[in-house]
Amino acid sequence: MNVPRRSDWWRGGVIYQIYPRSFQDSNADGIGDLRGVIQRLPYLADLGVDALWLSPFFKSPMKDFGYDIADYRDVDPIFGTLADFDALVQAAHVHGLKVLIDQVLSHCSDQHPWFTESRASRENARADWFAWADPKADGTPPNNWQSIFGGSAWQWDTRRRQYYLHNFLASQPDLNFHNPLVQEAALANLRFWLDRGVDGFRLDVINFCFHDAQLRDNPARTAAVVYDPAVNSVTPYAWQRHVYDKSQPENLAFLARLRALMNEYPGTTTVGEIGDDDTLARIAEYTGGGDKLHMAYGFDLLGPRCDARFVHRVIERFEAAVDAAGWACWSLSNHDVPRVATRWQLPGMVDRGAWLRLIFALQLSLRGSPCVYQGDELGLTEVTLPFEALQDPFGITMWPEFRGRDGCRTPLVWDGSAPNAGFSTAARTWLPVADEHLPLAAQAQARDPGSLLAFYRAMLAWRRVRPVLCSGAIELLPADDAVLAFIRRDTATDPPQALLCAFNLSASEVRYALPADRVPTELDAPPHPLPSGWLVGPTLELPPCGAAFATL
């Protein structure tokens, strides 16, 4: 069994994100499904991850590909049935894998029965279940809030002659969490899936549940807009400080209620997605105290910056804000941002494989729970699709300055010689299989002991026998232009454990002076073929894209 038997398995457990539409098609319709996931569970077990996270598979009109839910308690027919889901959970547990599923609490589809009833009149039983507001005297929206997908966050509704709030598409109305009945309904939906055996939830944009009840305007940003992969900088959304449209204080009490529900199901967990003006501080707040979210992730490592000083600063800021209970989930790719193999470019890089091995070793060494996006273990690159092939409404609207999220969502490649690379036998797949991915197919890499996939397996196995990397504290060593170095330390073990970790995030050989009281007597051998450093007195010398580990 890959999964630790302790109830806090999630603390340091490795999560693998599955985007079901693009993972494996079992019924030849060109779209991945739940039976396809079952088919590939042995692959995930062999990889050595602890849990899988399934992006939405619920009934939906698919305007935002499942993040617009029309029925929180049923499976969309394109993915299968509830019986298929139950079979998936059972099979995953047999393979020693936990199952986390997406939950989108802050908004739903405009085709959900709740919204159909709410928009029918101002007096019905669910009239206050969504964020409705009257227009200003001149008929304009009630405030200046912007949608992440561009334009006003308010949509006029002719039935109620009011505006409703939508932080995303107009077809994704925001629920009104100021109404206690909405909170009860959201928690009841979580309980439905917990009773079916899920091991936890990834909570989509969980800091968006509450909005300012006074509907105050957001202030403008006074500083220059910095690229934020969670919010494309070509939209006006990035020009505001988001003081009132999300991350409201009332959310903390709701998260405490959510955690109390999870505590009724020992061994379950929550991963919150948080996009905020200060995401690291918000993660610390939402995971601190041990009474809200178990862990959360943001977008600080999902942008283009990957230099040693930047990563050092991200960790430093988070550790300064978080308490002992707080916990991050570190992801380098997901379904919303360009793939890390393309996004993180190392100046002067010659050996791309060495670079990808290094950043995975780094990801597994940070204090937190790593999350691997499907295909990262194969080194898949971001795909550039022609406009006519796009499916993502964000990209279609923002073309050509922003090409959307389809480039990281193309089908996974299993067998480079099979039709559609083994993903589907359909004549046409929902997004095209990328020709550039065919040489990276899983079947070929599984046969090659020097492949990136082989390294992922070896690195995950190497980490599993070093519990200090799963639960230990982190002590950053001095910042450097090229080297990120820290010590993972666990004083709760007998004897206490300490592991030096150092990574050369450059394409040149470098030297790094270790503090006098942090010099090991010898280095541990990392999994082959990760280039290893060497000691010259108190100085650590690292080859390009090299790493060093040492027990202290």
Q: Which pLDDT value is given to residue 402?
A: 87
Instruction: Say if residues 534 and 502 touch (Cβ distance below 8 Å).
Output: no
Q: Which pLDDT value is given to residue 6?
A: 72
Distant-in-sequence, close-in-space partners of 529: CB < 8 Å, separation ≥ 6: 354, 357, 450, 455
Question: 450 with 488, same domain?
Answer: no
Active site residues per annotation: 204, 264
Question: 366 with 447, same domain?
Answer: yes
Question: 374 with 285, same domain?
Answer: yes
DSSP-assigned beta bridge partners for residue 133: 163
Domain end position, chosen among 433, 463, 493: 463
Establish if 166 belongs to a structural domain. Answer: no
Q: Taking the chain, what is the end-to-end CA distance rounded to the nearest angstrom?
A: 30
Establish if 282 belongs to a structural domain. Answer: yes
Establish if 396 belongs to a structural domain. Answer: no
Establish if 161 belongs to a structural domain. Answer: no
Question: 454 with 486, same domain?
Answer: no
Question: 384 with 481, same domain?
Answer: no
Instruction: Say if residues 473 and 505 touch (Cβ distance below 8 Å).
Output: no
Question: 455 with 477, same domain?
Answer: no
Sign of CA dihedral 424, 425, 430, 433: positive
CATH number at residue 51: 3.20.20.80
Long-range contacts of 217-225 (CB under 8 A, 24+ apart): 217/143, 217/144, 217/145, 217/244, 218/143, 218/144, 218/145, 218/146, 218/242, 218/243, 218/244, 218/245, 219/243
517: containing domain: 470-551
Question: 493 with 456, same domain?
Answer: no
Question: 196 with 52, same domain?
Answer: yes
DSSP-assigned beta bridge partners for residue 475: 487
DSSP-assigned beta bridge partners for residue 550: 500
Question: 196 with 288, same domain?
Answer: yes
**DSSP code per residue over 143-190:** S--B-TTSSBSEEEETTTTEEEE-SS-TTSPBB-TTSHHHHHHHHHHH
Neighbours of 133 (CB within 10 A): 15
Distant-in-sequence, close-in-space partners of 448: CB < 8 Å, separation ≥ 6: 454
Instruction: Say if residues 62 and 409 touch (Cβ distance below 8 Å).
Output: no
Q: Which pLDDT value is given to residue 2?
A: 41
Establish if 324 belongs to a structural domain. Answer: yes
Q: Which pLDDT value is given to residue 350?
A: 77
pTM, two decimal places: 0.96
| Local confidence pLDDT in tens for the 552 residues of the chain | 343 457 899 999 999 999 999 999 999 999 999 999 999 999 999 999 999 999 999 999 999 999 999 999 999 999 999 999 999 999 999 999 999 999 999 999 999 999 999 999 999 999 999 999 999 999 999 999 999 998 999 999 999 999 999 999 999 999 999 999 999 999 999 999 999 999 999 999 999 999 999 999 999 988 654 445 546 667 789 889 999 999 999 999 999 999 999 999 999 999 999 999 999 999 999 999 999 999 999 999 999 999 999 999 999 999 999 999 999 999 999 999 999 999 999 988 878 999 999 999 999 999 999 999 999 999 999 999 999 999 999 999 889 888 899 999 999 999 999 999 999 999 999 999 999 999 999 999 999 999 999 999 999 999 999 999 998 999 999 999 999 999 999 988 888 899 999 999 999 999 999 999 999 989 998 888 998 999 999 999 999 999 999 999
Query: What is the number of domains present in the chain?
Result: 2
Q: Which pLDDT value is given to residue 492?
A: 83
Neighbours of 481 (CB within 10 A): 10
Q: Which pLDDT value is given to residue 495?
A: 84
Tokens read off for 309: 């000083």
Establish if 82 belongs to a structural domain. Answer: yes
> d(Cα 517, Cα 534) in Å, to the nearest integer?
17
Question: 505 with 383, same domain?
Answer: no
Residue with tokens 């561009």: 150
Q: Which pLDDT value is given to residue 232?
A: 61
Distant-in-sequence, close-in-space partners of 463: CB < 8 Å, separation ≥ 6: 14, 364, 365, 469, 470
Give 57's DSSP letter. Answer: -
Instruction: Say if residues 102 and 202 touch (Cβ distance below 8 Å).
Output: yes
CATH number at residue 505: 2.60.40.1180
Establish if 492 belongs to a structural domain. Answer: yes
Q: Which pLDDT value is given to residue 231?
A: 60
Question: 446 with 500, same domain?
Answer: no
User: In this structure, which amino acid lies at residue 251?
Assistant: N
Instruction: Say if residues 541 and 533 touch (Cβ distance below 8 Å).
Output: yes
Distant-in-sequence, close-in-space partners of 123: CB < 8 Å, separation ≥ 6: none
